[in-house]
Amino acid sequence: MTAQQTVPTTATGSHVLEEGFFASQSFDYGIRITLGATAYGVGDVGTVLATAARITDGDWASWFSAWTDRADQLAALAVQHRQAGDLRGASWAFLAAADAWSRSLDAVDGLPAEQAEAVLLPTFRKGRDCWEAWIDCAGSRYVRVDVPYEDTTLPGYLLRPDASGRARPTLVITNGSDGPITDMWWAGAAEALDRGWNAFVYDGPGQQSMLFERGTTFRPDWEAVLTPVVDALVGRPDVDAAALTASGISQAGYWVPRALAFEHRFVAAVADPGVVDVSTSWVEYLPAEMLQLLDAGRKDDFDRYMAQAGGDPETGRTFAYRARPYGASSPFDLFTEVRRYQLRDVAERIRTPLLITEPEDEQFWPGQSEQLARLLTAPHEVARFGVVDGANWHCQPLGRRLTALRAFEWLEAHLPSR
């Protein structure tokens, strides 16, 4: 596939691809993500489908129970193989268990508030413990790299194809708003290692351990995050500082381009997908009158109307969970903060060649990949994916190998040796 070719997006796919595994879009998307991860050795297709069979459509309690049971089983299997000296088998099971624990956390914003708060941190820690065990099973191939950040550090992991210490091209992956660290494995890290590269993954402010354990929140100026990451990597003998590339998945399709407007040490990057304005997925649900109050800065009136609007309990829980990483104390403050997450003011400052994915059926930021492309003056290309190849929906969850072909074709073409 050449850089100019695109994937057809007009064809009739299978019943499952078009209508889904569950009627609930949230449940359906979660299963797609988990099935897609098996392409890079995370669990098994059959295990995912067997777990899904235990879930009652739309019932978050059954989702949580099914995935925590599966995670317990996989973690026990991992320990068994580690004790037997089979680190390869233990590694597979620990990674699958870490991902299963993370999938169970999809239910947190759908559970009653008291229950959700009680299970959030313990469940997260079980998943992270399995991730850390997976890191240890790799021996010295995978190394922990704490990134100095303001008055603390960001937990980072440099994943290397071997322990030789040879300087290699390195892909720095930034996660989305609520994705677990295991998502970065199937979103580029595994492919990088297969190609003889390093991959660096980390938790940024407001993400996973930084939010759940340290209480840090998101920030729109991600250059304040990605620049310290680059600083921590360029001095390492196992990182080729002249062959650094970047990738951002989901909401990092905003964060990475934002950082690239100020951090110019990457030779190429991927936004999967492009996100020009994060707030559109929030404000699209507001009636015109509420938008007018927001635009006019009428905080008291906005907050009062939001309180009166009420809504069903599940929507309220989802809203509270999604708001948490932004650290806002009121609805007006939240919407005002989220509206700062936009690229229109800085896109022209980006110099790094950028590949932007655009999947058919994008459900969170439709059309924004093309919008970003129109704003750029740097070299760029839009990679389109569709249901005809099973690569539709946000971040192409069932088309990750196909996505990797396009992404690494772009990245490798911009390495200094090419």
Q: Please check the confidence at residue 314 and state whether its pLDDT lies above 80.
A: no
Q: Give the model confidence (pLDDT) of 68-107 as tens digits.
A: 999 999 999 999 999 999 999 999 999 999 999 999 999 9
Compute the average pLDDT of residues 411-415. Answer: 98
Question: Using one digit for the tens of pLDDT, what is the confidence trace for 178-215?
Answer: 999 999 999 999 999 999 999 999 999 999 999 999 99
Q: What is the mean pLDDT of the chain?
A: 94
| Range in 16-30, 36-50, 132-146, 160-174 the model is least confident about | 16-30
pLDDT in tens, 261-294: 999 999 999 999 999 999 999 998 899 999 999 9
CATH label, 142-278+341-414, candidates 3.40.50.1820, 3.60.15.10, 3.30.70.1140, 3.40.50.720: 3.40.50.1820
Say which range, 26-30, 233-237, 306-310, 321-325, has the weakest mean pLDDT: 306-310
**Any idea where the domains of the chain sit in the sequence?**
25-129, 142-278+341-414, 281-339
| pLDDT band at 311; cut points 50, 70, 90 | low
Distance CA 280, CA 225 (A): 23
Percent of the chain with pLDDT over 90: 87
Count of Cβ atoms closer than 10 Å to residue 345 Cβ: 11
pLDDT value for 15: 63
Alpha helix locations (H) across 143-221?
Answer: 183-184, 190-194, 209-212
For helices 113-137 and 60-83, what crossing angle results, to 10°?
A: 30
Tell which residue, 272, 220, 226, has the closest CA to residue 249.
272
Model pLDDT for residues 17-52, shown as the tens digit of each residue: 667 899 999 999 999 999 999 999 999 999 999 999
As to burial, measured by CB atoms within 10 angstroms (0-12 exposed, 13-18 middle, 19+ buried), residue 209 is middle
**How sure is the predictor about 370, in pLDDT bands with cuts at 50, 70 and 90?**
very high
Quote the DSSP letter at residue 56: P
Q: How confident is the model at residue 310 (pLDDT cuts 50, 70, 90)?
A: low
Architecture in CATH for domain 25-129: Up-down Bundle (1.20)
Is the pTM higher than 0.85? The answer reads yes
Average pLDDT, integer, range 220-237: 98
Query: What is the pLDDT, as a whole number, of residue 308?
Result: 80
Residue 365 has pLDDT above 60, yes or no: yes
Q: What's the pLDDT score for residue 320?
A: 80
